[in-house]
Amino acid sequence: MQRKFLFEIEEYYHVFNRGVERRDVFLNEQDRRRFINLLYLCNSISPVNMREVAVQGDAFAVDRKETIVQIGAYCLMTNHFHLLMREKVENGISVFMKKLGTAYSMYFNTKYSRTGALFERPFKATHASDDRHLKHLYAYIHLNPLSIQNPGWKITDGNALPQISAEKFLREYPHSSYLYYLGNKRNEDVILSTEAFPEYFTKQEDFESLLRDWLQPEFDFNN
């Protein structure tokens, strides 16, 4: 199914994709680490060069030259992933997603002795056309892992979760940008270009408050 819009420079998008036939695409920590490295490496006008990574010893130490998209948030699940992105150059998101999908699929297929497409095509995307939608995406993307702890739970259902246990789980889930917004410094922070996004979270408490709103039973999801 083709998207009904074209990506526009300086606009914000929620981009996501999952494994074909809903298959798992991240089977262990090594897989997740490779994908997170690729979030950094594929965001470049240059081709991905894993030999350079081997020389540097750290994917995040590689000089990417000029980037083609700006990433504000990310989250890896088991069979899918979410990205919040800003189109930086013409066709930047499309080029980035092609590089990312190709590089990770080659790694995965080689490692697990399989052939064929790994991700659904085309990748999915929605346009965040206003502040309300864009702020919601920060909550939606970062709360997504709670469905691992609570199978069947969805943020859109409006079902409350215990705040303390939910926050504890998210703090211990390393495969998203959640910890960045809590002020925890990690090497993965270089993936993000938060300066290209609105300053919704001038304090850590602003981010925590947004997510807590979505965990409270009295929150009105229709307003």
What is the extent of the structural domain holding 136? Answer: 12-213
Q: Is residue 69 in some structural domain?
A: yes
- pLDDT above 80 (res 152): no
Please tell me the predicted confidence (pLDDT) of residue 190. 97
Please tell me the predicted confidence (pLDDT) of residue 220. 40
Please tell me the predicted confidence (pLDDT) of residue 221. 35
- pLDDT above 90 (res 170): yes
Q: Is residue 222 in some structural domain?
A: no
The CATH number for 140's domain is: 3.30.70.1290
Please tell me the predicted confidence (pLDDT) of residue 161. 67
Q: How far apart are alpha carbons 180 and 90 in whole angstroms?
A: 28
Please tell me the predicted confidence (pLDDT) of residue 148. 86
Please tell me the predicted confidence (pLDDT) of residue 57. 81
The residue among 119 and 217 whose pLDDT is bigger is: 119
What mean pLDDT, rounded, does the chain reach? 90
Q: Is residue 135 in some structural domain?
A: yes
pLDDT in tens, 58-88: 999 999 989 999 999 999 999 999 999 999 9
Please tell me the predicted confidence (pLDDT) of residue 34. 96
pLDDT in tens, 6-57: 999 999 999 999 999 999 999 999 999 999 999 999 999 998 888 888 777 8
| Predicted structure pTM score | 0.91
Please tell me the predicted confidence (pLDDT) of residue 200. 96
- pLDDT above 90 (res 113): yes
Please tell me the predicted confidence (pLDDT) of residue 50. 85
Q: Is residue 6 in some structural domain?
A: no
Q: Is residue 5 in some structural domain?
A: no
Q: How far apart are alpha carbons 212 and 198 in whole angstroms?
A: 20
Please tell me the predicted confidence (pLDDT) of residue 2. 59
Count: domains in the chain: 1
Q: How far apart are alpha carbons 171 and 157 in whole angstroms?
A: 23
Please tell me the predicted confidence (pLDDT) of residue 219. 39
Please report which confidence band the pLDDT of residue 162 belongs to, taking 50, 70 and 90 as the band edges. low
Q: Is residue 101 in some structural domain?
A: yes
